[in-house]
Amino acid sequence: MNEVKNPRKPLIVFYILMLLIMFAFNSLIAPMLAEEQKIKEVDYGTFMTMTEQGEIGSVQIEENQILFTNKDGSETYRTGVINDPDLVNRLHASGAKFTSKIVQQMSPLASFFLSWILPIFIFLALGQYLSRKMMDKAGGPGSMMFNMGKSNARVYVKSSDGIKFDDVEGVDEAEENLQEIVDYLHDPGKYREIGASMPKGVLLVGPPGTGKTMLAKAVAGEANVPFFSMSGSEFVEMFVGMGASKVRDLFRQAKEKAPCIVFIDEIDAIGQKRNSGNLGGNDEREQTLNQLLTEMDGFEGNSGVIILAATNRPESLDPALTRPGRFDRRVPVELPDLKGREAILKVHAAKIKYTDDVDFSVIARMASGASGAELANIVNEAALRAVRDGRSAANKADFEESIEVVIAGYQKKSTILTDHEKKIVAYHEIGHALVAAKQTNSAPVQKITIIPRTSGALGYTLQVDEGEHYLMSKEELENKIATLTGGRAAEEIVFGSVTTGAANDIEQATKMARSMITRFGMSDDFDMVAMETLQNQYLGGDTSLACSAETQAKIDEKVVELVKTQHDKARKILADNRDKLDELAEFLYEKETITGEEFMKILG
């Protein structure tokens, strides 16, 4: 889509024009008016008489003429020059003032007109001109000065190189919902025939990077109608009423170009829930939201205007905004599944060169939980790695390394471990992998490395599920906790002490165990009672406890008991396979990076 840009003359142009006019007046017009005053020609005798009578005010003696004024300076005279040695003494005795230039004085009426009337008239004329210009730009007499109440919406028209639905993969359900809207805009007759009407608003919700904004661009590329795009933060202004004015102006433009689509990105910036806790005064955000509610479904209809909005905080939106009649349809744009990840990888990989050994199904399994934006980054990182190595196409190793870059960061070559630290990290990572391999419900090991990464990890074990899992049993979660404690268990068995390397493992194991008890109902003591509520599910999933302090203490005890039980299980698995633990750790210590096949071959 091509953005339509309205040519605008900056306000500074008008100020420069006004200054030029004033400068021309002061430097050219006023002196010309002054020069037009008549200079009276008199003979030398008259000049002598006026000198003797003391009637000369100022005098200017030149080579071929003498200019002089009367006492009050109202008239100017000119006479010729005669050889008169005592002239200066007589002029001085008469009280005349000698000057290098006779100042031409205007009449009082002309001076008043030029000094006051004319400048005021110029300012008034320019003020009226600027006022009309700003009102024409801002949308009429009710608009505010300097375009403060004018919306900053970008207007797009059809373009042959825009994004289409074929360019968006992994969000088939969302595409189907939006395709219906595009079809309605192309052929509204078949919907009207049956009495159906399109939703007034469609709300796209989902985690960051899943393609909400890209879907809106695809709608713009397919719809073949005017498309207005604006971010929610652009409505927020310092002065109360500015945001509401921008909303009015946006919908005024949209109604003029109906049928059309208005897209508001990050609508939670202005659509958050209203509360009565404000003490006096007006809230700018609340005024903007009220105006948006009125425009979407008020007394004045907005027929032909379809609102698209995107957010990753749907729970924070005001209920009046998300009710039917305003946002009739809520379209989830979730993280892609295995098939979706493979399709997204192929779309982005079509823009680069890669070798035939790249299997996107394997890459998609390795990138479990990645968003569309992260998958695009993985493909780009693979291409950059190929360029760094001097190759013309990215291979399988480039894609695998790019996944590790996204997950754990780049290799940190400046970090050099001592032999003892390197051996501890090797046993730690083999501890994770061995516990995972000895449990039937754990994902197979794909790769183990002890090369430090920029994320702070000194090593990591990469596990890849064979398929896509949407449900996890209690046993699977317990096995995951045991795998997380496997690194610390290996350190305890081999070295008889512990290090700080298990900090992230401890955090993940504790979070998982707490969720099992407080949210998933996997505790006999609390049964199916929710002790914790999830907030901001698309932005990290913060939780808040909904229980008493006594119950919270019991929850803490159960969390400790659960993690401790799995920790003991991991220690037992490693103790029973001590010979394999030593053999695999020694192999990893020497090679620094081993694959899942090498691991399973030794484990045999």
Q: What are phi and psi of 411, to 5 degrees?
A: -65, 130
Cα 574-579-583 angle, rounded to 5 deg? 105
- CATH number of the domain at 38-105, please? 3.30.720.210
DSSP string of 536-578?
-TTTT-EEEE-S-HHHHHHHHHHHHHHHHHHHHHHHHHHHHTH
Residue 334 to residue 35: CA distance in whole angstroms: 82
The proportion of the chain whose per-residue pLDDT surpasses 70, expressed as a percent, equals: 80
User: What are the angstrom distances between the C-alpha of 408 and each of 271, 412, 477?
Assistant: 36, 10, 23
Q: What residues form DSSP beta bridges with 69?
A: 76
Q: pLDDT tens digits for 542-581? A: 777 888 889 999 999 999 999 999 999 999 999 999 999 9
Give the pLDDT mean for 105-117. Answer: 60
Q: What is the pLDDT of residue 31?
A: 55
| Residues known to be catalytic | 429
174 vs 63: which has the higher pLDDT = 174
Q: What is the pLDDT of residue 543?
A: 76
Question: Of 172, 155, 162, 305, which Cα lies nearest the Cα of 221?
Answer: 162
Q: pLDDT tens digits for 295-331? A: 888 655 557 788 999 999 898 899 999 998 889 889 9
Q: What is the pLDDT of residue 115?
A: 59
Structure tokens at 464: 């890849």
Q: Is the pLDDT of residue 33 over 70?
A: no
Q: What is the pLDDT of residue 142?
A: 45
Report yes or no: 264 and 234 within 8 Å, Cβ to Cβ: no
Q: Is the pLDDT of residue 508 over 80?
A: yes
Q: Is the pLDDT of residue 521 over 50?
A: yes
Give the pLDDT mean for 368-382. Answer: 91
Give the pLDDT mean for 118-125. Answer: 70
Per-residue pLDDT band at 111 (split at 50, 70, 90): low
Question: Of 268, 247, 281, which Cα lies nearest the Cα of 203?
Answer: 268
The proportion of the chain whose per-residue pLDDT surpasses 90, expressed as a percent, equals: 26
Question: Of 324, 376, 311, 326, which Cα lies nearest the Cα of 347?
Answer: 376
Q: What is the pLDDT of residue 145?
A: 46
Per-residue pLDDT band at 280 (split at 50, 70, 90): very low
Give the pLDDT mean for 32-45. Answer: 66
For the 338-408 domain, the top CATH level (class) is mainly alpha
Give the residue extent of every domain in the chain.
2-32+109-147, 38-105, 154-272+286-332, 338-408, 419-603
Give the pLDDT mean for 136-161. Answer: 52
Most confident of 26-40, 177-191, 405-419, 534-548: 177-191
Structure tokens at 356: 């035939």
Residue 316 to residue 328: CA distance in whole angstroms: 17
For the full predicted model, state whether its pTM sits above 0.85. Answer: no
Give the pLDDT mean for 12-28. Answer: 64
Per-residue pLDDT band at 601 (split at 50, 70, 90): confident
Burial class (CB in 10 A: 0-12, 13-18, 19+), 160: exposed
Identify the H or E element spanning 64.
none
Q: Strands 260-265 and 227-231, how do they pair?
A: parallel
Per-residue pLDDT band at 534 (split at 50, 70, 90): confident
Q: Is the pLDDT of residue 179 over 50?
A: yes
Q: Reply yes or no: is the peptide bond before residue 259 cis, omega within 30 of 0.
A: yes
Q: How many helices (H) and strands (E) does the chain have?
A: 22, 17
Per-residue pLDDT band at 205 (split at 50, 70, 90): very high
Which residue's structure tokens are 């805009």? 185
Which residues in 373-402 are b (16+ Cβ under 10 Å) and which e? ebbbbbbebbbebbeeeeeeebbbebbbbb
Domain 419-603: which topology? Methane Monooxygenase Hydroxylase; Chain G, domain 1 (1.20.58)
Residue 309 to residue 219: CA distance in whole angstroms: 12
**Is 154-272+286-332 assigned to CATH 3.90.650.10?**
no
The set of residues, in sequence order, having a beta carbon less than 8 Å from that of 80 and lying 6+ positions away, is 43, 44, 64, 65, 66
Radius of gyration of the chain (CA): 41
Q: pLDDT tens digits for 208-222? A: 988 888 888 888 888
Q: What are phi and psi of 207, to 5 degrees?
A: -65, 165
Residue 57 to residue 459: CA distance in whole angstroms: 100
Q: Is the pLDDT of residue 366 over 80?
A: yes
